[in-house]
Amino acid sequence: MPATLTATHSQTCNERLRGAMVAANVTIEGLADRLRIDPKSVERWITSDRTPHARNAHAAAKILHADAYHLWPRLDERRRSVATPRDELVTCYPTRSVVPLDLWRSLLADAVGTIDMAVANPLFLADAVWDLPGLLADKAAAGVRVRLVGPASGSPATVADVFPSLLSVPGIRLAEHGGLHADVVRADDDLIVTTPVDGMAPVLSPVMHLRRLGPAPLTSGYLTALDHLFATATPVRAPRLRAVVA
């Protein structure tokens, strides 16, 4: 039976969190499932007023459309400490083939500011995220910056080949680059990075799920690389239709 959010005042210490969950219609189990943690941890955040780890706090606040420092005021004390690269590592998967399919879509669907994708083989995105063109079109229409860079022309599968419908979508930038190596998918502060291994197919390569924190000691390199790729990539535009003269 789902854990209730209607506990009495004496039982509930973090009323801000409880109220945010009620307002967002998110249960304890639902929030735990989205964060991929034990529901008992979420329950303790409410009943024992425990402050979660920064990466879980920010992820939960994003799901609840709330401010993490409002939900957990003591989180501000931790903000003064310097984040380490290990703090930004949410989890690591031995191969891309075992990354949960719903993770790709949920991160992109939750993005409110930025979606960046740099992929050497766009075909895997088409398999990992159903109706990706529709999702990206909706995000662009909502004001999210959407950028997608793939391999250069002449490759077996370019972004224009795999997602031709995106060529005509306003607000989506498509580009090609000849120097792609690691696949990086960014949704706001979350990144999924496929780390290439020489002689190994990308689907068998290790994957890191990162979340940017503070000065971003680990993610900053990937964020800088994304900006560099888009700055040096060749834009892909929809072909112009020529008028037929009788």
So what's the pLDDT on residue 86? 83
Q: What is the pLDDT of residue 104?
A: 93
Q: What is the pLDDT of residue 54?
A: 86
40: Cβ–Cβ under 8 A, 6 or more apart, which residues? none
Query: What pLDDT sits at residue 69?
Result: 86
pLDDT of residue 5: 61
Domains and CATH numbers, the chain: 15-79 (1.10.260.40), 85-235 (3.30.870.10)
What type of residue sits at position 159?
V
Reading the block at residue 5, the tokens are: 């959010």
The C-alpha atoms of residue 67 and residue 32 are separated, in whole angstroms, by 18
Classify strands 114-118 and 183-187 as parallel, antiparallel or unpaired.
antiparallel
Q: How far apart are CA 125 and CA 203, in angstroms?
A: 12
Query: pLDDT in tens for each of the 246 residues of the chain?
Result: 455 565 444 455 899 899 999 988 999 999 999 999 999 999 999 998 789 988 899 999 999 988 888 899 888 765 555 677 888 999 999 999 899 989 999 999 999 999 999 999 899 898 889 899 999 999 999 999 999 999 998 888 899 999 999 999 999 999 999 988 889 999 999 999 998 888 888 888 999 999 998 788 899 999 999 999 999 999 998 765 444 444
Per-residue pLDDT at 87: 84
Task: Quick: pLDDT tens for 90-127.
Answer: 999 999 989 998 999 999 999 999 999 999 989 989 88
Q: Would you state the pLDDT for residue 10?
A: 44
Give the tens place of pLDDT for each residue, 77-92.
655 556 778 889 999 9
